[in-house]
Amino acid sequence: MSQKKIELWVGLFVISAGLSLAILAFSVAGLSFKGEGSSYTLNASFSNIGGLKVRAPIKVGGVVVGRVEEITLDVQSYMAVVRLSMFENKGSYPETSSLSILTSGLLGEQYIGITPGFIDDDIEMLADGDTIEDTKSALVLEDLIGQFIYSLNKDD
Amino acid sequence: MITSFISHVGQTSLTFVHLIGRACLMLWLTLFGKPHRKLFPLFIQQLFQLGILSLPIILTSGLFIGMVLSFQGYYVLVDYAAEQSLGSLSALSLLRELGPVVAALLFAGRAGSSLTAEIGLMQSTEQIASMEMMAVSPYKRVLAPRLIAGIVALPLLTLLFNVMAIWGGYLIGVSWLGVDSGAYWSVMQGSVDYVPDVLNGVLKSVIFAIIITWVALYNGYYAVPTARGISLSTTKTVVISSLLALAMDFVLTALMFGA
Amino acid sequence: MAQSNHLVIKKLSFSRNERLLFDDLDFEFERGKITAILGPSGIGKTTLLKLIGGQLPVDSGEILFNNQAIHNCSEKVRYQARQKMGMLFQSGALFNDLSVFENVAFPLREHFKLEESLLQTLVLMKLEAVGLRGAKDLKPAELSGGMARRVALARAIALDPELVMYDEPFTGQDPISMNVLLKLVKQLNSTLGITSIIVSHDVNEVLSIADNVYVLAEQSIIASGSVDDIFKQTDNALLQQFLLGKSEGPVPFHFKGASFADDLEQVNR
């Protein structure tokens, strides 16, 4: 086979492999051209984060508005400190908003849900580096069952 | 008895160290120093030999493996009413493990064995020696283009294998078994991440490619120059490179996805 | 050292797999002459050529080509020396995926950036010299053994070497191809002044064209000199056995081992 023909085939091969990578990136991994854009950071501490993991989504009304960036332990207060990376194009939230750790479905992954608070004249919007005070910890199934059994016993 | 055992162990480890040294020296002489003047056209030729000629087996195997994976996954998931996760199950297992590993095993069988046989034949018919006598370095002229082409070809083949397999899985899952098409893609996109899943899979196949091509070239270059020697070396290439790739896969998986 | 010596080997020792092949040997190859190295099979004649080409390292001693040591020198010097050497391998060693033309063009394409028309002229000249210009488009698999060797010869002289080494060029050739090859070797030597080293065990054929001869046996040189000298050494029994091809003589019919009686006793015990 002539060198020309070989080059043609190899070119086709490389291009189709490149296309495959694009297919894997965009339609399988769901990468989008827009990307997640620029973001700002918020902090929140929880007494218990349950099974929350880094890169878990942060949702408002089911829409992803950010990702968990880092989880550390504050050794003074023994609280879990979660750093949130919030997408700028998804807007900002009043400082009265509250965070809770929720579970998608009965056995699904855990994520952080934001319940936006009321907006008033003297209420500021959360900005880069702010801390959200109002947090609800993860529901731990074992604790829940324990409480349930305890309350049953008390009724007797 | 004990002394003979000890001397046997010593002998074996000495041979092993010798082998490793020789293989590394070969790699060094192939990759470093002034490259061959026509390296690029030679590389393209080898990419054709190793890549294009492996396409039929890679594409058909990919299609069938994707289809089978979808079938088996569906029957397990449907018991938990979780058949929407079929896309995520097949995409994740393909991108992270099955794609790189199966493509590597097929590559070892198709391209690795042919490399060993080709170079072994060149060695036994004194083509390598005659090249040396013509003041042409066989490392740069024969081994380097093949090594680089092998390292490039396998990741490209793995990408094509993955796409083919995911498409095969889609055919069975959605068109045949009736999983909702929207759910299939959205659950898949929700669980597959670009860098940790897609790119880690590609990185794995680059490492497998280095192992397989290196083993194949070594076994060919140092084949016993007889018909029997070449056939033994060819078998050795397939067995050793497959085992090394699988062992390496375990290590890589532990590093990438473990802990 | 005489100016006419093209290649000199001093105190060469070499052993392979713990078997001594050469023990402290000296050779001198005169410029522009045909030197034959004769010896029984398995004595390492091919190895000697590989040592001269620098493909194998020597255990001790040195090999001087144009007064330049081939061993213990940089890779570059060795490659430069090899450009001035040609070697005809026993099997021909043609590249079987290239045509006859491309095989002969190979060393030229590797070392020089020639215009295609000039390259074609050069290759056709070399093929003409071995009488195979008509076979230029054939693949090596389509050639007979004798033709393959002639193509390999054309390739070996493609870079216009000063020295050509022939490794058993006449083995397994029919009488016609053998004579063609003999004529070619003689012709190349006389017209181009190429120093030739022929390694062989075809005594009569080689001696008909050689100027000087070395006869090897048992790790050492048993006879050397011009062709006429060799035949005069009638008192050298080993040499006479080899030259005349007698089955009995100093080289025993039996391989070295325990005595037959001992072996039988061992079996019957």
Chain segment B225-237, per-residue pLDDT in tens: 899 999 999 999 9
Q: Kindly state the average pLDDT of the residues C118-134.
A: 89
Contact assignment for A17 to B159 by CB distance below 8 Å: yes
Q: Is the pLDDT of residue B119 over 70?
A: yes
Weakest mean pLDDT among A1-5, B15-19, B60-64, C185-189: A1-5
For residue C137, CA distances in Å to C124, C143, C151 come to 11, 11, 12
Q: Do C78 and C180 have their domain in common? A: yes
Check CB contact of C86 with chain B, cutoff 8 Å: yes
* C214 and C261 inside one domain: yes
Q: Say if residue C194 is in the same domain as residue C168.
A: yes
Looking at the partner chain, which of B129, B135, B137 has a beta carbon nearest the beta carbon of C93? B129
Q: Do C107 and B132 touch (CB under 8 A)?
A: no
Q: Which two tokens stand for residue A85?
A: 């990376």
C220 and C168 in a common domain = yes
- Chain B partners within 8 Å of A24 (Cβ): 95, 159, 162-163, 166, 198
pLDDT value at residue B143? 94
Whether residues C80 and C24 fall in one domain: yes
Instruction: Print the domain residue range for C116.
Output: 99-159
Same domain membership, residue B102 and residue B20:
no
Q: How do the domains of chain A map onto residue ranges?
A: 1-33, 39-146
The mean pLDDT of C73-86, rounded to a whole number, is 84
The residues pairing with A45 across neighbouring beta strands, listed in sequence order, are A81
- The answer to the question of residue C67 being in a domain is yes
* Chain B residues whose C-beta sits inside 8 Å of any chain C C-beta: 37, 125-127, 129-130, 132-137, 141
Please report the pLDDT score of residue C2 as a whole number. Answer: 46
Is the model's pLDDT at B107 over the cut of 90?
A: yes
Inter-chain CB proximity B136 and C83 less than 8 Å = no
Model pLDDT, residue A108: 67
Distance between A128 CA and the closest CA of chain B, angstroms: 27
Domain that holds residue B66: 37-257
Residues in C 17-36 with any Cβ partner in B closer than 8 A: none
Residues C178 and C252 in one domain: yes
Token pair belonging to A121: 């004249």
Residue B217 CA to residue B50 CA, distance in Å, equals 13
pLDDT the model gives residue B156: 96
- In tens, the pLDDT along B21-60 reads 999 999 999 998 888 888 999 999 999 999 999 999 999 9
Helices (H), chain B: 2-31, 39-50, 55-77, 86-93, 99-107, 113-124, 127-133, 138, 144-170, 181-191, 200-221, 227-257
On whether both B24 and B137 belong to a single domain, the answer is no
Task: Among B125, B130, B134, select the one facing C110 at the smallest CB separation.
Answer: B134
Residue B138: per-residue pLDDT: 92
Higher pLDDT, A10 or A107: A10
CB contact under 8 A, A9 and B52: yes
Q: Do A69 and A83 contact (CB within 8 A), yes or no?
A: yes
Chain C residues inside the 8 Å CB shell of B133: 53, 55, 82, 85-87
Q: How many domains does chain C have?
A: 2
The three-state DSSP-derived secondary structure of C113-173 is CCCHHHHHHHHHHHHHHCCCHHHCCCCHHHCCHHHHHHHHHHHHCCCCCCEEEEECCCCCC
Chain A touching partners, 3 or more CB pairs below 8 A = B
The answer to whether position C80 is within a domain reads yes
Q: Which chains would you list as touching C if contact means 3+ CB atom pairs under 8 Å?
A: B
Least CB–CB distance from B133: residue in C80, C85, C96? C85
A62 neighbourhood in chain B, CB within 8 Å: none
Interface check A107 vs B, CB under 8 A: no
Q: Is residue C195 part of a domain?
A: yes
Q: Does one domain contain both C29 and C126?
A: no
* Chain C interface disruption, residue of B34, B130, B142, most C CBs within 10 A: B130
Half-sphere exposure of C160 (CA within 13 A, CB side): 5
pLDDT at B214: 95
**Given a cut of 50, is residue B87 above it in pLDDT?**
yes
**A3 in reach of chain B (CB within 8 A):** yes
Tell me if C127 sits within 8 A of C133, measured CB to CB.
yes
- Asked if residue A10 lies in contact with residue B44, where contact means CB atoms within 8 angstroms, the answer is yes
- Across the range C98-115, mean pLDDT stands at 90
In a domain, residue C91? The reply is no
Average pLDDT over every residue of C25-34: 86
Residue A36: pLDDT over 70: no
3-state secondary structure at position B173: helix
**Is 70 exceeded by the pLDDT of residue A155?**
no
Q: Are strands A131-132 and A39-46 parallel, antiparallel or unpaired?
A: parallel
C-beta atoms of B47 and A10 within 8 A: yes
Residue linked to tokens 């080899």: C242
Helix (H, G, I), strand (E, B) or coil at C67: coil
A63 membership: H or E segment, kind and range: strand A63-74
What is the predicted pLDDT for the residue at B58?
A: 96
- Does residue C133 share a domain with residue C209? no
Strand partners, A67: A57, A85
- Residue A1's pLDDT band (boundaries 50, 70, 90)? low
Residue C93 in contact with partner chain B when CB distance is under 8 A: yes
The rounded mean pLDDT for chain B is: 91
- CA distance linking residue C200 with residue C37, whole number of Å: 6
Residue with the bigger pLDDT between C134 and C40: it is: C134
End-of-domain residue from the set C159, C192, C207:
C159
Instruction: Please give the residue of chain B at the shortest CA–CA distance from A27.
Output: B189
Q: Is the pLDDT of residue B170 over 80?
A: yes
pLDDT digit string (tens) for A81-132? 999 888 888 778 888 888 888 887 666 678 888 888 888 777 788 888 888 8
- Whose tokens are 């493909």? That residue is C55
Residue A23 CA: distances (Å) to CA of A14, A151, B65, B197: 14, 54, 19, 14
d(CA A54, CA C192) in angstroms, rounded, equals: 79
Of B84-93, B176-185, B239-248, C163-172, highest mean pLDDT:
B239-248
Residue B66 confidence (pLDDT) above 50:
yes
- Those residues with Cβ within 8 angstroms of residue A101's Cβ, 6 or more apart along the chain or in another chain: A46, A49, A50, A52, A110, A111, A112, A113, A136, A137, A138, A139
Q: Residue C63 and residue C47: Cα distance in Å, rounded?
A: 14
Q: Are B130 and B239 members of one domain?
A: yes
Chain-wide mean pLDDT for chain A?
A: 82
Distance CA B56, CA C123 (A): 39
Claim to verify: residue B53 and residue B164 sit in the same structural domain:
yes
Q: What is the pLDDT of residue B251?
A: 94
Tell me the percentage of chain A whose pLDDT exceeds 90. 8
Contacts of B108 (CB under 8 A, 6+ apart): B212, B216, B237, B238, B241, B242, B245
The domain tally of chain B equals 2
What is the average per-residue pLDDT within B57-78? 93
- Chain A contact for B199 (CB, 8 A cutoff): no
CB contact under 8 A, C111 and B133: no
Residues of C in contact with B49 (CB under 8 A): none
DSSP state of A125: B
Flag whether pLDDT at C225 surpasses 60: yes
Please state, for a pLDDT cut of 70, what percent of chain C lies above it. Answer: 96
- Does C92 fall in a domain? no
For residue C30, what is the enclosing H or E element? strand C19-30
| Pair of tokens at residue A82 | 């979660």
Q: Are residues B95 and B147 in the same domain?
A: yes
pLDDT band at C112 (very low <50, low <70, confident <90, very high): confident
Neighbours of A15 (CB within 10 A): 10
What pLDDT is stored for residue A37 in this prediction?
A: 67
Q: Select from B63, B96, B189 the residue whose CB has the most chain A CBs within 10 Å, as the one to mutate to test that interface.
A: B189
Confidence tier at C1 by pLDDT (50, 70, 90): very low
Please report the DSSP string for B7-28 in residue order. Answer: HHHHHHHHHHHHHHHHHHHHHH
B-to-C residue pairs, Cβ atoms closer than 8 angstroms: 49
- C148: closest CA of chain B, how far (Å): 13
φ and ψ at C147, to 5 degrees? Answer: -65, -40
Q: B136, C107: Cβ pair inside 8 Å?
A: yes
CB contact under 8 A, A20 and B162: yes
Q: Does A28 touch chain B (CB under 8 A)?
A: yes
| C110 to B141: CB separation less than 8 angstroms, yes or no | yes
Angle in degrees, 0-180, between the axes of helices C145-156 and C100-111, rounded to the nearest 10? 20
Say what the pLDDT of residue A146 is: 87
CATH at residue C60: 3.40.50.300
pLDDT of residue A34: 55
Minimum mean pLDDT range among B199-213, C13-27, C152-166: C13-27
B135 vs C55: CB contact, 8 Å cut-off? no
Residue where one domain finishes, among candidates C134, C159, C184: C159
Give helix then strand counts, H and E, for chain A: 2, 8
User: In 10 A of CB B249, how many CB atoms?
Assistant: 18
Q: Give the sheet arrangement for strand A63-74, strand by strand.
A: A131-132, A39-46, A79-87, A63-74, A57-60, A110-115, A98-103, A135-136
- Laid out side by side, the sheet with C19-30 consists of C19-30, C5-16, C60-65, C68-69
pLDDT given for residue A32 in this prediction: 63
Confidence band of B73 (pLDDT split at 50, 70, 90): very high
Question: Per residue in C190-205, pLDDT tens?
Answer: 888 888 999 888 888 8
Q: Is this complex's ipTM strictly greater than 0.85?
A: no
User: Considering CB atoms only, which of B41, B156, B193 is closest to A29?
Assistant: B193
Q: Indicate the helix (H) or strand (E) that contains A115.
A: strand A110-115
Is-contact C56 C113, C-beta < 8 A? Answer: no
At residue A39, the pLDDT reads: 82
The pLDDT value recorded for residue B135 is 87
Same domain, C255 and C135: no
